Amino acid sequence: MTKLPFLLPLLILIFLLGPSAAEIKSLKINSDPRAMILFERFGFTHTGHANISVSSVSVISSVASPDPSRLGFFLLSEESLIQVLYELQQNPSFCVLGSKYVDLLFTFRDLSPPPRSSFTHSSPISSPNEYSLFFANCAPESTVSMDVMTELYNLDDRGRVKDYLSAGLTQLPTLYSFFSILYFVFFWFWGSLCFKNRMSVHRIHALMGLLVIIKALNLLCAAEDKHYVKVTGTPHGWDVLFYIFQFIRVILLFTVIILIGTGWSFLKPFLQEREKKVLMIVIPLQVLANVASIVIGETGPFFKDWVTWNQLFLLVDIICCCAILFPTVWSIRSLRETSKTDGKAARNLIKLTLFRQFYIVVIGYLYFTRIVVFALRTIAAYKYQWVSNAAEEIASLAFYAVIFYMFRPMEKNEYFALDEEEEQAAEMALREEDFEL
């Protein structure tokens, strides 16, 4: 089948971007011509099971009556991917359902005899591993329509309780609950600090406090979402709350970083025109990124444009990460120029140092959560996929703690509390040290 070789880069990309979670899903395929459709990835233990139900099956071909044995479902491990790709490259007409490297579940031959168009297959997993559930259509010039219900799960040690979370993600409800409690404590501490130093509280401190409580609620909803998926196979509406709080959190996070970077409410009560433009660009882009995130999370890779939405999300996220750094760079350069004329070297030196530290912390946070976490997610064994989630949450908590400490409300704020006798030393430091980025 000539269209299969064109799937090779796509298949590799899907394995890199594909999710490793599962729940009971009911999906509808309408006149789909794709040679391979990825439904989901799941980490099975030695007690794993895969239940697949198809109904209302219809295959339409423009050339000949399709062979039902050339359409079916199979499981593919990441280790077997290279061998399957090699087979596809060697023989363009090769049907992946005939590969010895795939675990064939069933073909449409099992739907026979006519007019039967439904089938339910339940299969225990003999070899624990992370598998991807695929549907293959090796019939040339044909489209498939069907209703599919997938149920992938592991049983507990007693073989009674089903766990619908992948083997590497079953710890997520506890992980998210723990970090949610930490953020609630963080919010209480921040509120106490703001109340104690209420004469030094600025509007940015209120936004920072709102960001923390939204982050705590976001993690709480994530914990409940994963808990209900784990025990029942469906999120019971907690996914809706999770996406709502995630949307608010991301918008607030980028807004707070931009406002701190501009010195808003610390150094000046208003934003310049170019800083307003950054907000006007970043916020709509984040709205788009969140829409992409919801599409990715809710539709799954079987959706035709799933890879496109992944690419859009990554592109928008990179643009936003770059854009939020500009206000901090502008503030550093503005302070650098001001230090040459206003005669307040010590004050400007501390402002410059603080903003440069803020810039470095933001760069480190973005690098870790975008690059390091992705690398961990890619290289970690399927049983330890939760480690990348834990690393991301630890990095986020550390980022919040450092930034909140740097810009905490104080009666003697570092922006303004300076001794005049520091002026001469500061002037020398400004002349000798380069604060340009």
pLDDT, residue 16, reads 55
pLDDT digit string, tens, across residues 177-224: 999 999 999 999 999 999 998 888 888 999 999 999 999 999 999 999
| Domain-ending residue, one of 139, 163, 187 | 163
Judgement on whether residues 253 and 318 belong to the same structural domain of the protein: yes
Nearest to 314 by CA among 296, 291, 289, 279: 289
- Work out the number of other CB atoms within 10 angstroms of the CB of residue 109: 13
User: Do residues 242 and 305 both lie within one domain?
Assistant: yes
Rounded to an integer, what distance in angstroms lies between the CA atom of residue 428 and that of residue 437?
A: 19
For residue 326, being part of any structural domain is answered with: yes
The per-residue pLDDT for 307 is 72
Q: What is the pTM of this model?
A: 0.84
**In a shared domain, residues 53 and 139:** yes
322 within domain boundaries? yes
Do 242 and 332 fall within a single domain? Answer: yes
Does residue 201 belong to any structural domain of this protein? yes
Question: Does a structural domain hold residue 228?
Answer: yes
Those residues whose C-beta lies under 8 Å from the C-beta of residue 412, and which sit 6 or more positions away, are none
Same domain, yes or no, for 96 and 200? no
Query: Which residue, 133, 163, 193, sits at the end of a domain?
Result: 163
- Together in a domain, 378 and 420: yes
Q: Is the pLDDT of residue 273 over 60?
A: yes
Dist. CA 81–CA 67, nearest whole Å: 25
395-418: pLDDT as tens digits: 999 999 999 998 888 765 544 444
Distance CA 144, CA 39 (A): 15
247 and 347 share one domain = yes
Among 231-245, 345-359, 374-388, the range scoring the smallest mean pLDDT is 345-359
Give the span between the Cα atoms of 37 and 21, in whole angstroms: 17
Please report the pLDDT score of residue 21 as a whole number: 58
Whole-angstrom distance, CA of residue 319 vs CA of residue 254: 12
Residue 427 CB burial class (10 angstroms; 0-12, 13-18, ≥19):
middle
48 falls within a domain? yes
Q: Are 295 and 313 in contact (CB under 8 A)?
A: no
Collapsing DSSP states into helix, strand and coil, what is residue 3? coil
Contacts of residue 418, defined as CB under 8 A and 6 or more positions apart, other chains included, come to 346, 347, 350
**Which long-range contacts link 316-322 to residues 24+ away (Cβ below 8 Å)?**
316/285, 316/286, 316/288, 316/289, 316/292, 317/289, 317/370, 318/370, 319/285, 320/254, 320/282, 320/285, 320/286, 320/289, 321/366, 321/370
3-state secondary structure at position 80:
helix
Q: How far is CA 340 from CA 201, 337, 349, 350, 430, in A?
A: 30, 6, 11, 14, 9
**Residues 238 and 331 reside in one and the same domain:** yes
Percentage of residues in the chain having pLDDT higher than 70: 81
Query: Which residue stretches of 101-202 are H helix?
Result: 172-196
378 within a domain of the structure (yes/no): yes
* Amino acid in the structure at residue 323: A
CA distance 264 to 294: 32
Please answer whether residues 385 and 377 qualify as being in contact, where contact means their C-beta atoms are separated by less than 8 angstroms. yes
Residues 213 and 305 in one domain: yes
Say how many CA atoms lie within 13 Å of 105 toward its Cβ.
26
pLDDT on residue 283: 81
Residue 156 CA, chain-centre distance (Å), reads: 28
Residue 437 within a domain = no
Pair 142, 237 in one domain:
no
Reply yes or no on whether the pLDDT at 32 is more than 80. yes
- How many other C-beta atoms can be found within 10 angstroms of the C-beta atom of residue 206? 12
Taking the C-alpha atoms of residue 261 and residue 275, their distance in angstroms, rounded to an integer, is 10
Average pLDDT over residues 3-11: 50
* φ, ψ at 56 (rounded to 5°): 50, 45
CA dist., res. 63 & res. 1, Å (int): 13
Domains in the chain, number: 2
Residue span of the structural domain in which 99 resides = 5-163
Res 151 pLDDT > 90: yes
**Residue where one domain finishes, among candidates 103, 137, 163:** 163
Same domain, 378 and 230: yes
Could you tell me the pLDDT band of residue 7, with boundaries at 50, 70 and 90?
Answer: low
> What value does the mean pLDDT of the chain take?
81
Q: In Å, what is the CA distance from 349 to each residue of 148, 202, 432? A: 64, 22, 12
Q: Can you give the CATH number for the domain in which 299 is found?
A: 1.20.1070.10
Give the Cα separation of 190 and 298 in Å (integer): 35
Report pLDDT for 164.
93
Return the pLDDT at 91.
80
d(CA 405, CA 397): 12
* Residue 130's CATH number: 2.60.120
Do both 144 and 204 map to the same domain? no
Q: For residue 266, is it within any domain?
A: yes
